[in-house]
Amino acid sequence: MPVPYSALSHLDCPRCGTRHDADRVQGTCPCGSPLLARYDLRQVARQASPRDIAGRPAGLWRYHELLPVRQAAQVVSLSEGMTPLLAMPRLGQALGVPNLLMKDEGLNPTGTFKARGAAVGVSRAAELGVAAIALATNGNAGAAWSLYAARAGIRSLIVMPAAAPEITRAQCAAAGAELYLVDGLIGEAGQLIAGALERRPGYQNASTLKEPYRIEGKKTMGLEIAEQLGWRMPGVIVYPTGGGVGIIGICKALRELLELGWVRGDLPQLVAVQSAGCAPIVKAFEAGAAESEPWPEAKTVAFGITVPKAFGDFLILEALYASSGTAVAVTDEALLAARREVARLEGSFICPEGAACFAAVRQLRESGWLSATDEVVVLNTGTGLIYPETAPARVPVLPPSGSIPALSVLPRQHQRTLSENAQPEG
């Protein structure tokens, strides 16, 4: 018998425990919960080892036994995954967390980690015969899913808030998506999608956790972190949390690796970072609750994490409790300052959502939750290029006949940058 490409066995409901067939198109469990993919891990262990994986092409498909696509030929790829895990020594020094690393998801196709979920979700949908997908999005997922759908030759219907980053509209439109804006937030976009699906037979709802495979793509962030550390888990993983697919996925991935015996020890402490303008998970965590309450009047510059009520909130909270993690809210002011600091000290122009995590690291170090010896991996979920309006640059315009000022008369802001950058490395 040929060796199977995927060891997918079935789908499980994490709320009521019902088992579902993974080889037909599935949405959510009748009980209302998201479904999670399960694998025959003994089969995986028979078929592959960390050493085999190291010899495969870079990219998330190197973990194909732990992904749901059954046939290699069905893979729809733009070369996503295996993003760098960068040391951040100067920033780490400044924050008092010298062992600070950043997984830079901004290098993915489409500009964000959403490419992972879209690659796996679209591949599996196409493999199961889905001809059209529909989703509500804060922008980046819409961009990723419509572009991957275009590559797969399937149609896409996208609804995003009018306030979502403008470039994501352009990405969807360029991909040929049927795109609508809503004067509201992602919840209202979701209602429009739900209404449309009643009149659109054949469309699959691909909104956050409304189908089982986006999370499988996103879990590869966890697989890669473990592999990039030499099949070892870090002490702490810090993640900007909106719908929470990434943090749930990373937790799922590490549990699969533990069960396989490819890593050992305790789960990393998972940290969900939100904006003070939309922090339902933080509030629920602080109350020790199993679910969150809808956050009224949600607003933050970190648009991707503007999710007033996550469908998978109970799974996010379970991951935080099970890993002895925590949840932190940071202000827009703090995250924008952190974003400038990352660019200035480490040369990386990150997205506001990723920046929120660095602001959270500062807060957690100051409160003593993080110690100077913790190994901390921060997820930067996208490139800063998506959000130009959140990083205004006030620069002098010179006439062609003008001259550049001498160093001694530089505006204060430049003098500060020069002197800080001239500090010797620690």
Ligand X SMILES: Cc1ncc(COP(=O)(O)O)c(C=O)c1O
Closer residue to Zn ion, CB minimum distance, 29 or 150: 29
Q: Applying CB under 5 A, does 33 fall inside the site for Zn ion?
A: yes
The nearer residue to Zn ion, 16 or 58, going by C-beta atoms, is 16
Indicate which of Zn ion, ligand X, none lies near residue 138 (CB less than 5 to 8 Å, by partner kind): ligand X
Q: Is 385 in the site for Zn ion (CB under 5 A)?
A: no
Q: Give the nearest distance from C-beta 196 to ligand X in angstroms.
A: 20
Closest distance of CB 62 from ligand X, Å:
22
Distance between CA atoms of residues 380 and 338, nearest Å: 12
Q: Taking the complex as a whole, how short is the minimal distance between the CB of residue 264 and ligand X, in angstroms? A: 26
Using CB under 5 A, which of the segments 24-32, 134-142, 143-151, 404-412 binds Zn ion? 24-32
Query: Is residue 31 part of the contact set for Zn ion (CB under 5 A)?
Result: yes
Q: Is there binding between residue 381 and Zn ion (CB under 5 A)?
A: no
Q: Whose CB is nearest to ligand X? A: 304
Radius of gyration for the alpha carbons in the chain, expressed in angstroms and rounded:
22
For ligand X, the closer CB: 98 or 354: 354
13 interacts with Zn ion by CB under 5 A: yes
Shortest Cβ 15–Zn ion spacing (Å)? 5
Asked if 29 interacts with Zn ion (CB under 5 A), we say: yes
Residue 13's binding partner among Zn ion, ligand X, none (Cβ under 5 to 8 angstroms by kind) is Zn ion
Smallest gap, in angstroms, from Cβ of residue 380 to ligand X?
9
Partner interacting with residue 207 (select from Zn ion, ligand X, none; CB below 5-8 Å by kind): none
CB 211 within 8 A of CB 128: no
- Specify whether the CB–CB gap between 87 and 101 falls below 8 A: yes
Q: Is 342 in the site for Zn ion (CB under 5 A)?
A: no
Toward Zn ion, which CB reaches closer, 166 or 318? 318
The residues that touch ligand X, with contacts defined as CB under 6 A, are: 112, 138, 140-141, 208, 240-246, 304-305, 351, 353, 381-382
Q: Which is nearer to ligand X, 48 or 182 (CB)?
A: 182
Query: Between 226 and 379, whose beta carbon lies closer to ligand X?
Result: 379
Residues that bind Zn ion (CB under 5 A): 13, 15-16, 18, 29, 31, 33
